């Protein structure tokens, strides 16, 4: 009984997280167009990549401008393995190992090469990979590209029902959490009322979504592929996010932030900066490997899609836009960029200028909000937040 | 030596001329980079985009405004100088004292310029003039070499000499050198650091535009010309020393020659050799051949 109570407390303190995850799990039932669902899957893949960049750039403060090398190498390896018929999980593991290995290899000169020099070095490393593959394809006379296609798991109905089960479990947990919360309230404030209201709405939406998904509308034709692939990216995204969060709030993460703030002092305190930087690069490379392995399923992998310097710039942009070092900021930034990109792509006049517009937004953010969206909310909007908290805590008699 | 490539004197000569041409082009990008980095500590990622834009602007002027190549180059250079001043005053001045975010801004500028170029000129532009000076060839040892390559090499060398004498002989150059050597001290001695920064950024940008303009008869204009030269220019400033003008020139010669010789004789390894050279330089002489310790 005590165990149940402990569990309930845990769920209640993280109720907001559960609400967001539940919405994400029933999203296929809420978005009617398969196009936007696949856009969202791609955005989630890029979000994993953005998380990986936030680990090195936002947490450890390493200027790695060739991060796309790990992403692209993983995409090549995983795409090749999927293409030749290996199960997706093996391809994923191979991709993760490749990503981490490439990232660490790029970090080996970091003991002597620092700052701007390191940025140029890594940029050159990624470009060298891209250009040597291009040279090689010119040399052997055929273009080197892999189109792996979706992994076989997206065809399975079991996977589909497994995800509905998770959505249903989330529904049950949220319902229990809401009941416990309502029971424990004695004097109600506006904030409590609001949170109960929002939770109720989300719970109803979740129930609607689960019923809708169970109706079998989605398990025919191409829809099951889109929906299942979305679930695959979602699960890997949640896994990566949780793992990264655990790592950056562990003692290792504190050392990374210390290196970012003041490397000399960290060194004097007895930490080996080099080893910790390599550790950050390995974690980040592994995450980029996850993103790359998924990326191989949605696009044709060649020297340009895998190793283009634009990939690094896009993740850098998302990290800056959301706020470097805030983790959730990189995810929000990337979702904004990707959704904006596809929204503009369907607009008549702006279809090709989307990245230019995103670039202009990015310059404005660097100038006006140097901490990014989430960072400004955390560090700069203290007064506004206090005001909101004050309004929320007014009691209702 | 690869099999099938017969070593002969004409091929070697052609490779060397191409190498020197490349060196001149790379130097025109790298000169701006070292001036800007030396003074302001900004690694200007937009430099190669400026180079590309210079080529595009010159060719579009030739299509629309004038048939005179020299006039088109002049207009492009002036526009480049103005763009440099504008970017420095409007965007970079707000973030003085924060080189990291200035670098990020130049990265954003690069992205905007490249994407706009893709939108405006999706197929690239072809150099229109067909005067003998642009398409004529000289035959040496059975190898035809464009006359314009020799002109480009000459222009590269003369720009080096002009910049070198400006830096070493004039008061403005002395101020710039003082700023590069020790910014705080120069400021204490009454150097107007803001105006110097603006001037340096404008000059660096103008040189890149000029480079793109005069390279356009050979390269035409497309979106890729920026990125490949950007890499070589970065290699040059690493090898030559991030703040040394002479170093940039010497390293341009080295990188240009090695790049073209490898392109002629080991085509599979073209960029890889340059980058290996740069990594070696970073590992064994991080301050560059002509760099000075801070």
A183 touches chain B (CB under 8 A): no
Q: How confident is the model at residue A331 (pLDDT cuts 50, 70, 90)?
A: very high
Asked if residues A215 and A28 have their Cβ atoms less than 8 Å apart, the reply is: no
Q: Which two tokens stand for residue A91?
A: 């391809």
Whether A356 shows a pLDDT value over 80: the answer reads yes
pLDDT in tens, B25-62: 999 999 989 888 887 888 888 999 999 999 999 999 98
Lowest mean pLDDT among A243-252, A313-322, B166-175: B166-175
Tell me how many domains chain A contains.
1
Whether B281 shows a pLDDT value over 70: the answer reads yes
Does A71 or A371 have the greater pLDDT score?
A71
ipTM of the predicted structure?
A: 0.83
Which positions in chain B touch A131 (Cβ < 8 Å)? 270-272
pLDDT score, position A373: 87
pLDDT score, position A397: 58
pLDDT in tens, B137-171: 888 777 788 888 899 999 999 999 998 898 888 88
pLDDT in tens, A282-293: 999 999 999 999
Does A111 or B200 have the greater pLDDT score?
B200
pLDDT score, position B292: 55
| Structural domain harbouring A224 | 2-308
In a domain, A266, yes or no: yes
Which positions in chain B touch A113 (Cβ < 8 Å)? 282-283, 286
In a domain, A382, yes or no: no
In a domain, A389, yes or no: no
Pairing label, strands A145-146, A301-302 = antiparallel
Q: Which residue has the tokens 């955005």?
A: A43
Which positions in chain A touch B269 (Cβ < 8 Å)? 132, 135
Whether A329 shows a pLDDT value over 60: the answer reads yes
Share of chain B above pLDDT 90, in %: 26
Q: How confident is the model at residue B293 (pLDDT cuts 50, 70, 90)?
A: very low
The CA-atom distances, in angstroms, between B9 and each of B1, B3, B13, B106, B264 are: 14, 17, 6, 44, 13
Q: What is the mean pLDDT of chain B?
A: 85
pLDDT in tens, A149-164: 888 888 888 888 899 9
Whether A12 shows a pLDDT value over 60: the answer reads yes
A4-8, A328-332, B169-173: range with highest mean pLDDT: A328-332
In a domain, A341, yes or no: no
Find the chain B residues whose C-beta atoms sit closer than 8 A to any C-beta of A: 37, 43, 91, 94-95, 98, 100-101, 103-105, 107-109, 111-112, 115-116, 118-119, 122, 227, 231, 234-235, 238, 242, 267-272, 275, 278-279, 282-283, 286
Lowest mean pLDDT among A252-261, B58-67, B125-134: B125-134
pLDDT score, position B3: 44
CB contact under 8 A, A112 and B286: yes
CB contact under 8 A, A320 and B283: no
Residue in A124, A309, A366 closest to B278 by CB: A124
In a domain, A68, yes or no: yes
Residue in A113, A131, A355 closest to B115 by CB: A355
- CA dihedral for A265, A269, A270, A276, sign (positive or negative): negative
In a domain, A102, yes or no: yes
CB contact under 8 A, A356 and B115: yes
Average pLDDT, integer, range A135-144: 82
Share of chain A above pLDDT 70, in %: 98
A123 touches chain B (CB under 8 A): yes
Q: Is A216 helix (H, G, I), strand (E, B) or coil?
A: coil
What's the DSSP call for residue A110?
G
pLDDT in tens, B179-204: 777 777 888 888 787 888 888 899 99
Residue in B234, B268, B278 closest to A136 by CB: B268
A113 touches chain B (CB under 8 A): yes
pLDDT in tens, B198-245: 888 999 999 999 999 999 888 888 888 888 788 888 888 888 888 888
Asked if residues B172 and B166 have their Cβ atoms less than 8 Å apart, the reply is: yes
Share of chain A above pLDDT 90, in %: 34
The DSSP secondary structure of B47-89, one letter per residue, reads HHHHHHHHHHHHHHHHHHT-S-HHHHHHHHHHHHHHHHHHHII
N-terminal to C-terminal alpha carbon distance within chain A: 34
Average pLDDT, integer, range B105-118: 89
In a domain, A361, yes or no: no
A30: closest CA among A209, A154, A158? A209
CA separation for the pair B94, A149 (Å, rounded): 47
CA separation for the pair A84, A78 (Å, rounded): 10
In a domain, A30, yes or no: yes
Instruction: State phi, psi for A208 to the nearest 5 degrees.
Output: -60, -45
Q: How confident is the model at residue A1 (pLDDT cuts 50, 70, 90)?
A: low
B206: closest CA among B112, B100, B74, B97? B74
Q: How confident is the model at residue B294 (pLDDT cuts 50, 70, 90)?
A: very low
Alpha helix (H) residue ranges in chain B: 9-40, 47-64, 69-87, 99-120, 132-135, 147-169, 171-181, 183-188, 193-219, 224-240, 245-265, 270-284
Which positions in chain A touch B241 (Cβ < 8 Å)? none
């Amino acid at each position: 009984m005590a165990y149940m109570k402990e569990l309930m407390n845990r769920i209640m303190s993280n109720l907001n997280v559960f609400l967001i995850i539940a919405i994400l799990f029933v999203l296929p039932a809420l978005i009617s167009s398969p196009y936007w669902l696949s856009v969202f899957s791609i955005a989630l893949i890029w979000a994993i990549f953005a998380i990986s960049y936030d680990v090195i750039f936002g947490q450890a403060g390493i200027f790695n401008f060739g991060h796309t090398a790990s992403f692209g190498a993983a995409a090549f390896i995983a795409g090749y393995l999927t293409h030749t018929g290996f199960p997706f999980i093996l391809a994923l593991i191979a991709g993760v190992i490749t990503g981490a290995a490439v990232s660490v290899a790029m970090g080996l000169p970091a003991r002597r090469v620092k700052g701007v020099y390191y940025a140029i070095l890594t940029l050159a490393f990624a470009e060298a990979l891209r250009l040597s593959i291009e040279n090689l394809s010119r040399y052997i006379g055929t273009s080197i590209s892999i189109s792996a296609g979706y992994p076989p798991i997206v065809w399975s109905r079991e996977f589909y029902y497994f995800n509905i089960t998770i959505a249903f479990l989330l529904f049950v947990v949220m319902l229990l959490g809401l009941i416990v919360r309502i029971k424990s309230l004695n004097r109600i404030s506006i904030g409590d009322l609001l949170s109960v209201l929002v939770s109720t709405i989300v719970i109803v939406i979740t129930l609607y979504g689960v019923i809708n998904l169970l109706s079998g509308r989605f398990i025919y034709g191409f829809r099951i592929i889109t929906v299942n692939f979305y679930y695959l990216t979602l699960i890997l995204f949640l896994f990566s996010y949780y793992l990264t969060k655990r790592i950056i709030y562990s003692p290792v993460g504190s050392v990374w932030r210390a290196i970012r703030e003041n490397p000399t002092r960290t060194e004097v305190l007895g930490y080996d900066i080099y080893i910790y930087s390599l550790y950050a690069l390995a974690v980040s490379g592994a995450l980029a490997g996850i993103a790359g392995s998924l990326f191989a399923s949605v696009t044709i992998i060649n020297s340009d899609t895998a190793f283009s310097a634009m990939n690094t710039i896009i993740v850098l942009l998302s990290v800056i836009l959301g706020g470097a070092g805030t983790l959730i900021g990189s995810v929000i930034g990337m979702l904004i960029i990707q959704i904006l990109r596809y929204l503009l792509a369907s607009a008549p006049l702006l279809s090709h200028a989307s990245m230019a517009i995103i670039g202009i937004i990015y310059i404005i953010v660097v100038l006006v909000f140097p901490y990014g969206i989430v960072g400004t909310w955390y560090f700069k909007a203290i007064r506004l937040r206090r005001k909101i908290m004050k309004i929320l805590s007014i009691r209702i008699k | 030596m690869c099999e099938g490539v017969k070593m002969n004197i004409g091929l070697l000569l052609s490779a060397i001329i191409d190498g020197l041409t490349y060196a001149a082009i790379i130097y025109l990008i790298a000169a701006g980079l070292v001036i800007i980095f030396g003074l302001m500590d900004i690694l200007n990622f937009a430099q190669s985009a400026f180079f590309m834009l210079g080529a595009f602007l010159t060719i579009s002027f030739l299509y629309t405004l004038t048939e005179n190549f020299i006039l088109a180059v002049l207009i492009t250079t002036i526009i480049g100088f103005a763009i440099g001043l504008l970017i420095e005053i409007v965007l970079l001045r707000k973030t003085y004292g924060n080189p990291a975010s200035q670098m990020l801004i130049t990265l954003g500028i690069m992205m905007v310029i490249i994407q706009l170029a893709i939108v405006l000129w999706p197929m690239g532009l072809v150099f229109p003039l067909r005067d003998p000076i642009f398409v004529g060839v000289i035959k040496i040892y059975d190898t035809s070499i464009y006359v314009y390559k020799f002109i480009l090499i000459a222009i590269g060398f003369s720009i080096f000499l002009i910049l070198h004498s400006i830096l070493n002989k004039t008061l403005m150059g002395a101020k710039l050198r003082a700023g590069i050597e020790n910014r705080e001290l120069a400021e204490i001695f009454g150097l107007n650091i803001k105006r110097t920064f603006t001037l340096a950024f404008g000059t660096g940008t103008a040189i890149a535009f000029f480079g793109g303009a005069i390279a356009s008869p050979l390269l035409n204009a497309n979106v890729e010309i920026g990125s490949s030269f950007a890499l070589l220019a970065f290699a040059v400033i690493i090898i030559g020393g991030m703040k040394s003008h002479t170093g940039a020139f010497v390293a341009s010669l080295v990188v240009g020659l090695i790049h073209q010789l490898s392109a002629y004789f080991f085509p599979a390894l073209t960029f890889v050799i340059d980058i290996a050279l740069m990594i070696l330089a970073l590992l064994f002489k991080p301050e560059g051949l002509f760099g000075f310790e801070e």
